[in-house]
Amino acid sequence: MKYLKLNKIMALAVFSAVSLNASAQDKVTGYVFNDQNKNNKKDKTEKGISHVAVTNGEQVVLTDNNGKYELPLGDDNIISVVKPSGYNLAVDENNLPVFFYNHKPKGSPELKFKGVSPTGKLPKSVDFGLIKTEENTDFTALVFGDPQPYTLEEIEYFKKGIIEEVEGVKNIPFGISLGDLVGNDLDLFNPYIEAVKAVGVPWYNVLGNHDMNFDATTDKLSDETYEAHFGPANYAFNYGKVHFIVLDDILYPDPRALGKYWGGFREDQIRFVENDLKFVPKDHLIVLAFHIPLSEPDNDTFRDYDRDRLFSLLKDYPNTLSLSAHTHIQKQDFFGEKEGWLREKPHHEYNVGTTSGDWYSGKLNEVGVPVSTMRDGTPKGYAFIHFKDNTYNIEYKVAGKPREYQIEVFAPKVVAKGKRTKSGIYANFFMGNAQDEVLYRIDKGEWKAMTHVEDYDPSYAALVYEWDTSEVLLAGKRGSNPIISNHLWRGKIPTKLKAGEHTIEVKATDMFGNEYYQTSSYRIEELSNTTKTDLAK
């Protein structure tokens, strides 16, 4: 009898030990602390920081008065700290912010491209060091859309055409790439990281549809290689009075058709946004960063239900902006009541022009890099977003051109004096939208309004069709066919002026009140008697 009782006690002890071990693995605890010596390790003298948000990718909690947090844990979670304003994150040797712990005890499943190696037993304490700093509420972020190199040669184009131009940029606290960091070959992640490292500022990244594991069988596993290089695909951070939320908005495989993808969110991502926003002041600017644009209802590129859910979570925030890429054009979209937005002031989404332009196409410039103008006539480039408290102002920078170059003007080279012509003056205002004011004048005359038109940009059409009319092979590769540009304006071309050269000035004022100017010219010639006779025939 005593022997049986002893066995029961021993069995109960073993069961209790197993249960305690299991429960210990069901949660993660740790500290967010002031890393005074910047060694990314919590020393005994370093104090915890209270009221800092920490997340497991779905739940979000605040640290207590001692800087301690506790979160539920599964067997595939990335624990990350939500950087508070007034603190910096450490960066690794590649200028990637250090803000997460990847918990995959068994590692990623076997995929074509390597995922996360087994992380093994959970540390007793998963701690995050922050570096106290004076943080200005007036700051500028650098934004890249779609670097998307498919080869090492295109990595070099990216470096020469973009990185070398911004290398060592001053007064920029961080940058972000809005997905399609590479073009399907995930072995190019490291060359991409090495290239962007040279910018010299902390760099955040977004998952794009060309950054996924296409052999993954579920959406949850489609970012394993991305996670191995960059950490969570869903995370948040603060800077000044701006709260940034970065999201993977690609559903893969598409629940409607195997092998394709669809814009949208999983339920756990929606819960992450909901839980994260609970700790964000209502007067802060919310900036959402993802790859695929939200698009309008009934445009099948994005699941309507997910956009509506996202909008419902933002209804109490009067200051919002979303950033996307993916399209390889540039546009401003505004979402109102018709599109499911629940506030009077429309939600603005800036679909950023890409650093790869039209996929590294077009003629080679003087340094051997493809010009790569996009299909809507926007030259390749990148953006500076200037934040002041909870407001923003966006500036697009064309690669290889002065900052003032914001408009491309197209006009015929020569027209006949006094003759009506179907030719016109076109202005492609790269940052423009239909509500902007674009004016023009001839020879310092009266400013007149140009008409917003939905048409092909004739400047780009002339560039791309040169490949079809050339009698010789051109260096580089032909660009994509033009598409309708939504930032194009047209004005009539006066012909009842004296013969000779005439100047064209265009002035554009954007939604932020910024004014930009561009000049061009055209020539008026008298018809000769021979020409008049030929026309009469």
**Per-domain residue ranges for the chain?**
2-103, 137-398, 407-536
Cα 433 from Cα 131, distance rounded (Å): 41
**pLDDT level of residue 534 (50, 70, 90 thresholds):** low
**pLDDT level of residue 52 (50, 70, 90 thresholds):** very high
**pLDDT surpassing 80 at residue 149:** yes
**pLDDT surpassing 60 at residue 14:** no
- pLDDT score for 23: 44
Averaged pLDDT, 455-461: 98
- pLDDT score for 531: 55
**pLDDT level of residue 418 (50, 70, 90 thresholds):** very high
**pLDDT surpassing 50 at residue 6:** no
Is the separation of the CB atoms in 219 and 266 below 8 Å? yes
- pLDDT score for 259: 76
**pLDDT surpassing 80 at residue 60:** yes
**pLDDT level of residue 135 (50, 70, 90 thresholds):** very high
Cα 145 from Cα 351, distance rounded (Å): 9
**pLDDT surpassing 80 at residue 22:** no
Q: In the predicted model, what is the mean pLDDT of the chain?
A: 93
DSSP string of 114-166, one letter each residue = --PPP--SPPS---EEEEE----SEEEEEEE-----SSHHHHHHHIIIIIHHH
Fold of 137-398: Purple Acid Phosphatase; chain A, domain 2 (3.60.21)
**pLDDT level of residue 296 (50, 70, 90 thresholds):** confident
CA distances from 384 to 173, 258, 352, 438, 516 (A): 12, 38, 10, 22, 16
Write the pLDDT tens digit of every residue in 341-369.
Answer: 999 999 999 999 999 999 999 999 999 99
Are 137-398 and 407-536 equal in CATH topology? no
Averaged pLDDT, 1-27: 46
- pLDDT score for 527: 85
Averaged pLDDT, 181-205: 98
Report domain 407-536's class.
mainly beta
**pLDDT level of residue 512 (50, 70, 90 thresholds):** very high
Percent of the chain with pLDDT over 90: 91
CATH architecture of residue range(s) 2-103? Sandwich (2.60)
**DSSP character at residue 187:** G
Write the pLDDT tens digit of every residue in 275-288.
Answer: 999 999 999 999 99
φ, ψ of residue 57 in degrees (nearest 5): 100, -5
pTM given for the model: 0.93
**pLDDT surpassing 50 at residue 335:** yes
Averaged pLDDT, 186-204: 98
- pLDDT score for 20: 40
**pLDDT surpassing 90 at residue 258:** no
Is the separation of the CB atoms in 444 and 503 below 8 Å? yes
**pLDDT surpassing 60 at residue 99:** yes
Question: What would you measure as the largest C-alpha separation in the chain, in angstroms?
Answer: 128
E strand or H helix that includes residue 324: strand 320-324
- pLDDT score for 414: 97
- pLDDT score for 226: 98
Q: Hey, what are 328's tokens? A: 């390889």
Cα 200 from Cα 217, distance rounded (Å): 37
